[in-house]
Amino acid sequence: MKKLKTILILTTVILLSSCSKGGDDRLAEQENIRAKEQLQAQNDNQREWAEKMESDLNKRKYFLKAIQGKFEGEFEIEKTIFSINAKFIPSIPIEFHSRTRTLAEINYEIQNLNLNLNVKIENPRVANSAVNCTIEGYKPNVKKGAINVISESCKNIFNIYLADSLNELTISEILQSAENISKDVVIGNLDTIDFFNGTFESSVSSKQYEFQLKRSL
């Protein structure tokens, strides 16, 4: 009788131990599945964020690629004709990538891909009259299609807008046209800008003078 009781007790212990072990295994499996799902969700979120950042960065790339080069034009102040020349250069080479890149790679370009520019005005009839304005690391307004040159390092203020011709427009038409053109530029539908409209404001006067630029290189 005692042997039978002992056998029953041992059997019960073994069964309970087996149930407990099975429960622990199932719990561990569930935790493992949950951890994998969380990791996958985190990876998916990072990939979606990276794709969005890359898309926004590509807009800047298309914009800078389209405007890089040299441009020239002229404007008049009190019956005197001044020449104006502008040079736009990306700060680092522009590359487009088909693969999904890491956040670190994308962040590097976001921080370092900017516009270096030089705007020079001069009276061609007067020697040594040139006034240069040079800015490095500038971020243009790609949504508005605008390059607003306002800096302590420049004596003058320049507002330069994307254009598709040298037709004369009102200021409101210039702004609207620049924004519309930029919509095509930032998605790669328009790969080269050949014209700009702009306004110039001297450091000694608040009067604005309009000018136009045409690609020379």
Confidence (pLDDT) at 43: 74
HEC-encoded secondary structure of the chain: CHHHHHHHHHHHHHHHHHHHHHHHHHHHHHHHHHHHHHHHHHHHHHHHHHHHHHHHHHHHHHHHHHHCEEEEEEEEECCEEEEEEEEEEECCCCCCCCCCCCHHHHHHHHHHCCEEEEEEEECCCCCCCCEEEEEEEECCECCCCEEEECCCCCCCEEEEEEECCCCCCCHHHHHHHHHHHHHHHCCCCCCCCCEEEEEEECCCCCCEEEEEEEECC
Confidence (pLDDT) at 17: 56
List of residues 6+ apart from 195 with CB closer than 8 A: 162, 163, 164, 165, 166, 212, 213, 214, 215
Confidence (pLDDT) at 134: 96
Confidence (pLDDT) at 204: 80
Confidence (pLDDT) at 206: 81
Q: How far is residue 29's CA from residue 162's CA, in Å, rounded to a whole number? A: 60
Distances in Å between the Cα of 181 and the Cα atoms of 114, 173, 207 are: 20, 12, 27
Confidence (pLDDT) at 8: 47
Q: Is the pTM of this model over 0.85?
A: no
Closest CA relative to residue 119, chosen from 78, 160, 169, 163: 160
Structure tokens at 203: 């450091």
Closest CA relative to residue 120, chosen from 107, 105, 137, 133: 133
- Cα first-last separation, the chain: 107
Whether the CB-CB separation of 120 and 130 falls below 8 Å is answered with yes
Confidence (pLDDT) at 19: 55
Whether the CB-CB separation of 214 and 71 falls below 8 Å is answered with yes
Residue type (1 letter), 60 = R
Q: What is the chain's pLDDT, residue by residue, as a tens digit (217 residues)?
A: 555 455 545 455 454 455 555 667 777 787 787 777 777 777 777 778 889 999 999 999 999 999 999 999 999 998 999 999 999 999 999 999 988 899 999 999 999 999 999 999 999 999 999 999 999 999 999 999 999 999 888 989 999 999 999 999 999 999 999 999 999 999 999 999 999 999 999 888 889 999 999 999 9
Confidence (pLDDT) at 13: 46
Structure tokens at 155: 């004596």
